[in-house]
Every structure is written in C-alpha cells, then in structure tokens.
Amino acid sequence: MSSQHSIPTVDRVSVLPDSVICHILSFLPTKESAATSILSKRWNPLWLSVLTLDFDDQNFTEFSTFRHFVYSVIALRNITLQTIQSFRLKCGNSSGFNPHDVKRFIHAIFQRGIQNLNLEMSPFKLGFKLPHCVFSCSNLTALKLKGLAIDYSCDFNFPLLKTLHLYTISFGRDRDCFLRLLKGCPILEDLETKDLLLHSSNSTGMYVSLFNVYFIQKYELSTFLNLTHMKIVFELTHNWPGKWKWLTKVLQHCPKLQNLTIHEGSSDRNKIEDVDWMDTPIVPECFSSQLKTCSLIGYKGMNCDFQFAKYILKNAKVLQTMTINASPVDINIKHQILIKLTLCPRGSTTCKISFD
C-alpha cells in the first residue's frame, strides 16, 4: 500500500527581496497594494515603500470615503518620507465629488519630487482647473491629462518632460496657451492629443471643439528635436480640406520622428477631397533616416488619403512598415487599395505594406 505524500507549499513571493516585492506592488492600484499589509508583519510596511500611487474613486461609493483614504495614504507617506515617482489620480465618478480636495491632493504630492503625473477627470470636468504648481514642476518626465482645463497666461517650463498626452482638455480663452505648453517641452519625445477644446473668440462664454491640433495651423510651430512618437486623431466636426498638407508641415518640425500614427474619424464630414494636392518641395528631415513605421487608421481610400500615403512611401528612406486600417471599407475595395498602394514607388527597399 503506497503512502501519499503531501506536497509542501512554499511562499515563493515572500522570500523575494523587498525591492522586488515593491516593484510588483507598483503595478497594483494603491487600494489593493495597501491590502497586502495584513498578510504578515513583514508585508505590513512594504506597500508604503512603493514608488507609485494609483487612486481611482470608482471603487468608492462616496467621495468623502475616497478623500479620507487618499489623505491617509499621503499622511503615512509623509511620515516615512518615501519618494513618490508616479502619481495617478482618476476621479469624478463617486457621489459628492469635490474639486478642491483634488487640488489639495496634487499640492501635497508635488512636494515629494514627483516625476510622472497621470490625472483623469471622468466624466469631463470643465470647471476643474489644473493647479498652477503642476506647471512649475521641473522634475516631471511624463504628464498625462484628461478631462480638465488648462488656462494660464504664464510660460511653461518642463525641461525634463518626454511624454505629453492630452485628452479632452480645455485651453480656455487663451489661444496661445497650448503652443506655450509645447514650447516649454524642449526634449519632448512622445506626444498624443485628442479632443482639445479652445474658446471661440466669436462667441461669449461658449466653447467650440477643435479636435486635436487643428487650430495650431494658424500659428508658428515649434521644432521638436527629440520627438520620436506622434499620434494625431482627426475627428473634425467641420470640413478641413487642407489637413494633409498641414500635416506635412508639422512633420517638418519633427526631425527625429520614428513612429507616426494618423487616426481618421468616421464622420462623413471628413470626406472632402484635397483635389489640388501637390507634394511639398521640402521633404521632412525625419523621412531621410528616422521614420520607421507609419499607421493610417480609418483610411478611406480617397484621393487625399492616397496621395499622403504615396508621399510617405516615396520619401521615407528607412520606412519598415506602413499599416493601413480601412475597417469601414468592404473586402473588394480593400483589395483595390492594396494593389494601388503596392504599385507606388518606395524610397525604402525593405518597406512592407500591411492591412490591419
């Protein structure tokens, strides 16, 4: 009769060094990270050494409970004097939301040398104005904002900022505010924008939606010497027949761009032809030795779409992949688009065209 041997259980996680455990905890929301303190005496203080804080009031019924939790965590971190490298705050969903508390959270965090800030007001809080302390923080390397207002007449100074993501941002009455923000990021590498709101000078107290960076076509662009990734989403509420020509001008200000993504919205109002397309005589510098991938999402196969894709294929000398996403188009039209693009001259002998 054979005896059954039980397999001993081993807690392989707890034997890891504190630094490794803290790194693992950094991927959890702070509420879940704090819950690990009940596991054992050794685990009790570890979550306070995590370099990231991640708060979401969606997990709280009342904002007052959420506020108490955030303040408690910040107070405990003040006692331990631990550095906070990354701070993510998503709020606006719980009952009793108070924007003044959010500003206090941000002020408290910015006293700790924060490097990465991810702030999302959900749903969009038009009245929530980002605290001024954010724009005087020279330590920031990544800034991701969604659903709030930026309305300052001062200059911005982000000497270390490499990542800037702006989604559903109101720039108030100052049309130059967005441009000053870009100019204040001299080493920016990653820029994403969508649904930027700009106050209309032709109306009183009304906001018009100028999606993405459409409105800066009228202003002088800065040169982004370190920008390697750019994603632009066109979801225009009005016709813009010159957008592709404008985009080529933008590319001339991105000499190190390696990855370009253009996302066209599905609105029928975007279906206006650039009948007078002409290749610009000045080819963007990034085409000669930098641009490696180009993704065209929402490609409709219209003349303006095709001419822009052809322009990229012809001039991008080191392009490796052009990805076409034409999901609204049926399979036969997709096949025709692929044949048409395949016959275009290519500046790169290794470039591959693929349909996503």
The string of pLDDT tens digits covering residues 40-67 is: 888 888 888 888 999 998 888 888 899 9
Dihedral sign of CA atoms 217, 221, 224, 225 in order: positive
Q: Per-residue pLDDT for 133 more than 90?
A: no
Region 291-306 average pLDDT: 85
Q: Per-residue pLDDT for 306 more than 70?
A: yes
Pick the CATH number of 51-193 from 1.10.1740, 3.40.50, 2.60.40, 3.80.10: 3.80.10
Domain boundaries of the chain, sorted by first residue? 51-193, 211-267+278-355
Query: Is the N-terminal amide bond of 284 cis, ω within 30° of 0?
Result: no
| 335 neighbors 302 (Cβ within 8 angstroms) | no
Of residues 209 and 174, which shows the higher confidence score?
174
| 84 neighbors 111 (Cβ within 8 angstroms) | no
Region 251-274 average pLDDT: 73
- Write down the residue that tokens 């959010």 correspond to: 102
Angstrom distance (rounded) from CA 87 to CA 29: 11
Q: pLDDT digits over 166-197, tens only?
A: 888 887 666 678 778 888 888 888 888 777 77
Q: Per-residue pLDDT for 248 more than 70?
A: yes
- pLDDT band of 217, cuts 50, 70, 90: very low
